[in-house]
Amino acid sequence: MTGPTAPLPGAVGTTLQCGHYDRYECRSCTWLERPYDEQLAAKHASTRDLVHAVLGGRPEPEWLAPVPSRPEGFRTKAKMVVGGTLDEPTLGLWDPRQGAVDLRDCALHAQGIRAALPVLAEFVTLAALAPYDVPTRSGELKHVLVTESPAGELMVRWVLRSTEAEARIRKHLPWLAETLPGLRVVTLNLQPAHAALLEGEREVVLTEQATLPMEVNGLTLHLGPRSFFQTNTDVAAALYRTARAWVDEIAPASVHDLYCGVGGFALHLAAPGRAVTGIEISADAVAAAERGRDGAGLSPELVRFVAGDATSYLLEDRADLVVVNPPRRGLGAELANRLENAGPAAVLYSSCNPETLARDLEVMRSYAPVRARVLDMFPQTAHLEVLMLLAR
Ligand SMILES: C[S@@+](CC[C@H](N)C(=O)[O-])C[C@H]1O[C@@H](n2cnc3c(N)ncnc32)[C@H](O)[C@@H]1O
C-alpha cells in the first residue's frame, strides 16, 4: 500500500468508479466525478482563497504542497446503518426514499473493514439482532461502528436500542473472534431514542480489552470506544509529523494542546525538557492519552492531560505555543478572543473546516499565518484538513 506522500499510481486524471453512486443509491462522495488530482488542487485553492479573504493586510502564509491520500481504501472507521431483515441484513445507509441500502463493499473503507463487514452481517443473523426499522420503530440493532488499526486489529461497536440482545451477542462472541482473528474490542452502545443519533451515552465493553492500540509514527495511541480518532490514519500520521517538524523549528519550552483527544498532537510534540499539557472534554480520552504517554515512557511531570473545557481554558502557567484542533464548529468567539488577548507568540491550528478557521482568523488579528498545508483526509468529498502555523 502506498503512503500518503507517495506518488498516486494512476490517480492523475482518473476517477473512482462506484455502482452505488451510478445507481443513485449513495451520493455521499460528492466529488466522485472529479479526477483525484483535480480534487486536491481544488481543495488547496479554495482553502487558500478563504484564508486570503480574511487576512486584511496581513502577509500571506507560505502554502506548502498539499498532502494527498490514497484515493480509495483510506477510511479506517466505518459507520454503518443496519437495515433489512434478520436473514438478510444490510449494512450501509437508510434514506426515506430508498429505505435500507447495503454498502458493505464501499471502496473508501480500509481493506480490513471491507473484509469484516460481511462477517458482521452474518453475525447479525447468527445472534438474531433484529435490524431497527425506522418507520415502524421496531427492532433492536441500529448501527455497527468499526475501526481498523494500522496493525489490522478491529474495534466493533454494536449500537442497540436496549440490552435485549446482550446475552445472545455474548454467546456468539467466540464465533466472531474466531472468524475475525484481528478482533480486539467489542462493545454494545445503547441508544434508546428514536432520533438520528449515531450513538448513545452508555457503553458496555464485552472484551477483555477496552481500547484499540493505534500505532502512528512509532507511537502507540489508545483509542477507546467513545473517543475521537482521525478518519484516515495515514494522513493523520502525516499531519502529526508535519506538526512535529514545524514545532521543533520553534523549539518551545512549553506547549498546550487544546482539544487533544487521545493525545495525537501532544505525544508527537513531547521532547526532552519540553512541558506539554493536553486539554480535552472527554475523561475517557484523557485516560487513554495518559496511557499513551506512559507507554511512550514520557514523564507525567512533563506531559500531562487535563479533563476540561478548552473554551474556558485558563491555565496559570502560560505556554510558548498552543495547538488547537477543534471540532468543525471551530474555536468560536470566546476562545479566539482569549487567544487574541492573552495567547502565546505562536499558535498551531489544525482545522477540518476552513470556513470556521477563516472566521477565527478574523478575530485573531494580531496573529499572521506563517505557513499552511492542506492534508486530504477525505478524498472524493469537499472535506479536508488544514494545518496552519500562526505567529504574532
Ligand atoms: C477534531 S477532534 C481532535 C482530537 C485530537 N486532537 C486528534 O488529533 O485526534 C476534537 C476533540 O475535541 C474534543 N472536544 C470537543 N469540545 C471540547 C471542548 N469544549 N473542550 C475540550 N475538548 C473538546 C472532542 O472530544 C474531540 O476529542
pLDDT digits (tens, 9 = 90+) for 240-286: 999 999 999 999 999 999 999 999 999 999 999 999 999 999 999 99
Question: At 296, is the secondary structure helix, strand, or coil?
Answer: coil
Q: ∠ CA 93-237-198 to the nearest 5 degrees?
A: 25
Among 217, 280, 385, say which to mutate for ligand 1: greatest number of ligand atoms within 8 Å of CB. 280
Task: Using the structure block, give the residue that is written with the C-alpha cell 477540518.
Answer: 352
Look at residue 6 and tell me whether its pLDDT is greater than 70: no
pLDDT of residue 228: 95
The per-residue pLDDT for range 75-87, each reduced to its tens digit, is 999 999 999 999 9
* pLDDT for the residue 314: 64
What are 380-391's pLDDT values in tens digits? 999 999 999 999
* H-run or E-run covering 41: helix 36-55
- Joined grid coordinates for residue 310: 478548552
Is 26 designated active site?
no
140-188 confidence digits (pLDDT tens): 999 999 999 999 999 999 999 999 999 999 999 999 999 999 999 999 9
Residue 313 gets the label, from left (phi > 0), alpha (psi -120 to 50) or beta, of beta
Q: In a 3-state reduction of DSSP, which class is residue 57?
A: coil
Ligand 1 close to Cβ of residue 325 (< 6 A): yes
Phi-psi region of 269 (alpha: psi -120 to 50; beta: other; left: phi over 0): alpha
d(CA 310, CA 308): 6
Q: Is the dihedral of CA 26, 29, 32, 36 positive or negative?
A: negative
327 lines ligand 1 (CB under 6 A): yes
Distance 263 CA to ligand 1 centre (A): 10
Which one of 259, 331, 352 would you pick to mutate in the ligand 1 pocket, going by the greatest count of ligand atoms within 8 A of its CB? Answer: 259
Edge to edge, the sheet with strand 183-190 lists 99-102, 89-95, 77-84, 141-148, 154-160, 183-190, 202-205
The pLDDT, as a whole number, for residue 195 is 86
Summarize pLDDT for 331-380 with one digit per residue, the tens.
Answer: 999 999 999 999 999 999 999 999 999 999 999 999 999 999 999 999 99
What's the predicted TM-score (pTM) here? Answer: 0.95
Instruction: Residue 49: name the closest of 347, 41, 235, 377 by CA.
Output: 41
Closest C-alpha to ligand 1, atom 6: 260
